[in-house]
């Protein structure tokens, strides 16, 4: 029985590494894609000539927000992914003997992930400035102010205020070698914060933005777009499915958050991971099977498109959820580092 338990524990550590590699790999792709787009934007005579007709401060805000969020931030996240891979690899190969290095490396990954989200602040300022002025400012030729509010200002502000501090608290707990209970508490809170804010609230606001009037020609929006069966299904799964997963995660980790117990329900966590990863698998299939953005030009299709969605790495969580379910059947506790 002991060999069997160790086999599943080693398997779980390996799948954690696979998830980290997937996160890192997609971050590399996204960074390369973002850099390409940023260079194209900076070198565009159309954009520069259009911005030159606006006040100087808007030109700085525009290039600053697009450059920081579109280039600097995603490079920082790529470096965070590299640290996550190193930490996961050491945990897999060296197990608990490498914990001091694992803690330092994981703490660095969490710090950089927090910086990635804090880099959204220039975009928040630009979105607020765009709506605060009565001037007719250039923003790619057609983007309305109310769309910037729903897609950028509100959700990004929530991410900066909620998720970034949680990541920094978790990083501090790990870096300072705090108790196992404290680390598990902030891990659970951070995971719940991601589900509630980065995913559920962020995507819900994207759907709200999709319902708003859009001045560009051929762009689909409004209730007629929402009530198409495939789109309505996507909305329901997003608005209520992710919310249900977030509430479930918070409910099952609440005892750990209150430090009443460190024994997490692996069945519930494994099920949430599988269902959450399956959501992105479904969204990708939904995107391609319905013709993608070309056939459905809209805010929602642009956001969930694989080339524009930085969260698509979450599909890999399926392969982590399965061994967690198996571990729960044989009574194996989660393979987390000891403090």
Give pLDDT, residue 9: 52
The domain limits of the chain are: 2-330
What pLDDT does residue 217 have? Answer: 77
pLDDT value for 87: 95
Dmax of the chain from CA atoms?
Answer: 73
pLDDT tops 90 at residue 294: yes
How high is the mean pLDDT of the chain? Answer: 89
* Strand stretches in the chain, DSSP E: none
Name residues whose C-beta falls within 8 Å of residue 183's C-beta, 6 or more positions apart in sequence. Answer: 170, 173, 174, 339
Burial category of 157 from C-beta neighbours within 10 Å (exposed 0-12, middle 13-18, buried 19 and up): middle
At residue 7 the predicted structure's pLDDT band, cuts being 50, 70 and 90, is low
Q: Find out whether 300 and 26 touch, Cβ atoms under 8 Å.
A: no
Please report the pLDDT score of residue 322 as a whole number.
87
**Percentages (nearest 5) of helix, strand, coil residues in the chain:** 80, 0, 20
Higher pLDDT: 199 or 95? It is 199
pTM: 0.90
Q: Check residues 40 and 215 and name the one with the higher pLDDT.
A: 40
| Long-range contacts (CB closer than 8 Å, 24 or more residues apart) made by 133-136 | 133/58, 135/54, 135/55, 135/58
Q: Which residues contact 167 (CB under 8 A, 6 or more apart)?
A: 110, 111, 113, 114, 117, 190
Please determine, for residue 174, whether its predicted confidence score (pLDDT) is greater than 70: yes
What's the pLDDT at 310?
A: 87
Average pLDDT over residues 56-61: 92
Least confident of 104-118, 123-137, 320-334: 320-334
For 88-97, 197-206, 284-293, which range has the lowest pLDDT when averaged over its residues? Answer: 88-97
Our measurement of the distance from residue 213's CA atom to the centroid of its chain's CA atoms, rounded to an integer in Å, reads 27
Asked if pLDDT for residue 145 goes beyond 60, the answer is yes
Per-residue CA distances from 111 to 41, 108, 122, 150 (Å): 29, 5, 19, 27
Confidence of residue 335 (pLDDT cuts 50, 70, 90): very low
Spatial separation of the C-alpha atoms in residues 10 and 164, rounded to whole Å:
31
Q: How confident is residue 40, by pLDDT bands cut at 50, 70 and 90? A: confident
Report for 41-45, 102-106, 263-267, 335-339: range of highest mean pLDDT: 102-106
Query: Under 8 Å CB-to-CB from 49, ≥6 apart: which residues?
Result: none
Of 245, 311, 246, 244, which Cα lies nearest the Cα of 284? 311
pLDDT (0 to 100) of residue 5: 44
d(C-alpha 112, C-alpha 99), whole Å: 20
Contact 191, 249 (CB under 8 A): yes
């Amino acid at each position: 029985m002991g060999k069997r338990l160790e086999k599943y524990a080693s398997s779980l550590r390996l799948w954690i590494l696979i998830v980290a590699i997937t996160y890192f790999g997609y971050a590399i792709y996204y960074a390369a894609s973002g850099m390409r787009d940023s260079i194209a934007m900076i070198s565009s005579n159309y954009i520069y000539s259009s911005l030159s007709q606006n006040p100087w401060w808007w030109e700085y805000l525009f290039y600053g927000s697009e450059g920081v969020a579109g280039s600097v931030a995603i490079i920082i996240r790529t470096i965070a992914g590299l640290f996550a891979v190193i930490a996961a690899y050491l945990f897999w190969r060296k197990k608990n003997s490498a914990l001091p290095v694992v803690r330092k490396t994981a703490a660095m990954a969490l710090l950089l992930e927090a910086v990635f989200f804090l880099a959204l602040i220039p975009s928040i300022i630009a979105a607020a400035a765009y709506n605060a002025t009565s001037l007719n400012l250039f923003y790619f030729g057609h983007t309305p102010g109310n769309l910037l509010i729903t897609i950028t200002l509100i959700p990004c502000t929530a991410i900066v205020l909620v998720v970034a501090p949680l990541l920094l608290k978790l990083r501090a707990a790990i870096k300072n070698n705090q108790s196992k209970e404290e680390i598990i508490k902030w891990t659970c809170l951070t995971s719940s914060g991601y589900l509630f804010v980065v995913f559920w609230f962020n995507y819900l606001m994207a759907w709200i933005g999709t319902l708003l009037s859009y001045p560009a020609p051929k762009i689909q929006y409004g209730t007629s777009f929402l009530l198409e069966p495939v789109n309505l299904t996507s909305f329901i799964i997003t608005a209520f499915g992710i919310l249900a997963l977030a509430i479930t995660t918070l409910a099952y980790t609440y005892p750990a958050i209150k430090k009443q117990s460190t024994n997490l329900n692996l069945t519930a966590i494994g099920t949430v991971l599988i269902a959450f990863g399956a959501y992105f698998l479904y969204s990708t299939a939904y995107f391609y099977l319905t013709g993608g953005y070309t056939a459905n030009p809209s805010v929602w299709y642009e956001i969930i498109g694989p080339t524009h969605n930085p969260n698509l790495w979450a599909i890999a969580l399926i392969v982590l959820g399965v061994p967690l379910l198996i571990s729960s059947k044989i009574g194996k506790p989660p393979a987390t580092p000891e403090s």
